[in-house]
Structures are given as structure tokens and as C-alpha cells.
Amino acid sequence: MKRKKIISPIDLLIVIIPRHKGNKVCKILNDYKIYTHVNCIGYGTAESTIADLFGFGIKERDIVFAIIPTDKGEKLLDVFENEFKFEEKDNGLAMTLPINSIEKKLFDLIKIGE
């Protein structure tokens, strides 16, 4: 099935990084005038079921969700990749997902940042 291309002016940014680094992500977002973000606590799974059973290899994570204008997405991903060294293992990752509708007040908050 051919996937329909989604064109959206707003994306959801998700950054998954080691615990206690979420504040740094939020600071970078603030520097880029993006104030619509939340920082959650989570954990990553171990590499194997056995490691999970024994409780080692489970990595504590901070997960940051942010609503961003699409045109800032690529730049932000590059900044996070350089800042947190994503090319190395277990340093985390970041992704953007398209959003197809948004509530007006939140949209105004994003535009205020611009």
C-alpha cells in the first residue's frame, strides 16, 4: 500500500536519553524558543531477556516530548546528535513525528516562540 505523504507544519519531537540529561534537552529547546515540552522518567530494556530477569542492563532514561515547528526539526536533531553523541551506543536517540491537528492555544504558544 502506497503511504500517503503527510505534510504538517508541526511535529512531535521525542528525545530518549540517559537519566538526568533531560534538563539539558529542555534548556536547548528553550534556547531555540521552544517552550512546549515535558520531561518524563522512564527506562530502557536490557539487551536480552536474561539480563532483564537478573535486573542488569536496564537503563534509566529521560524522555522529553516537545511540540515544535517542522522547520526547526532537522536543526534540533543535529544539535542533539552533536550534544549527546548519539553515534555511540546507549547515548539515546531523537525523532520527529508529524502532527495533523493541534489545539489553538498550544499553536499560539508555538508561534509566540517564533
Calpha distance 110→87 (Å, rounded): 30
Q: How many helices (H) and strands (E) does the chain have?
A: 4, 4
Q: How far is the CB of 22 from other proteins (least distance, A)?
A: 12
For other proteins, the closer of residues 18 and 113 by Cβ is 18
96 Cβ neighbours under 8 A, 6+ residues apart: 11, 12, 13, 14, 68, 70, 73, 77
Q: Which three cell numbers stand for residue 45?
A: 530494556
Q: How far is the CB of 30 from other proteins (least distance, A)?
A: 20
The SS3 call for residue 56 is coil
Closest to other proteins by CB, 33 or 52: 52
CB of 34 to other proteins, least distance (A): 16
Indicate the residue among 89 and 108 with the shorter CB distance to other proteins.
89
Residues binding other proteins (CB under 8 A): 3, 6, 11-12, 14, 16, 40-47, 49, 52, 61, 63, 73-74, 77-78, 80-81, 86-89, 91-98
